[in-house]
Amino acid sequence: MKTLFALTLSIALFTFIGCSQQANEELSGTWINMEYKDIYDPEDSQKQKVVFYTDGKFESFKTISESKADYKAVYKIEEKWTDKDGNIWYKYRLAEKSWDWPDTFYLSKISNSGKVQEYQFELEIYPKKIDPSRAAYRKYNRE
């Protein structure tokens, strides 16, 4: 009986810790870029709105006014750090996606103001750096 109680308590504690950490992530929220125009090239699709929910879900929208997401996934943060300038960096990947691609790996930087997110993505490996000249580069402002 004590073992069952300890196991139940441990599961509840880990669940609470996991949820509270996700809810406090700077990555969570709605990010927009009105300059992006969705095109029909899956390797260069630029969505005007992306949303990182506190429960680990991710959605992207062709336009800011869309209410139905065109892509959905689960994001999994694998690394987070803050640089000397106060920018917050993440390595996360999108899994359990609504599109048929391998897992997508992201290197993301949120500005020290918390208002700008830049990221670079790659298939199957993490990018080494964020390069604005690459097709897989995106920049968003917090809504």
Q: How confident is the model at residue 135 (pLDDT cuts 50, 70, 90)?
A: confident
Give, as one character, the DSSP assignment of residue 93.
E
- Integer Cα distance of 121 and 138 in angstroms: 9
pTM: 0.78
Rounded mean pLDDT of the chain? 83
For residues 66 and 60, the answer to whether their CB atoms sit within 8 Å is no
DSSP symbol at 116:
E
- Per-residue pLDDT, averaged over 12-41, amounts to 68
Q: Which two tokens stand for residue 62?
A: 């062709």
Mean pLDDT of 115-138: 94
Angle made by CA atoms 15, 18, 20, in degrees to the nearest 5: 105
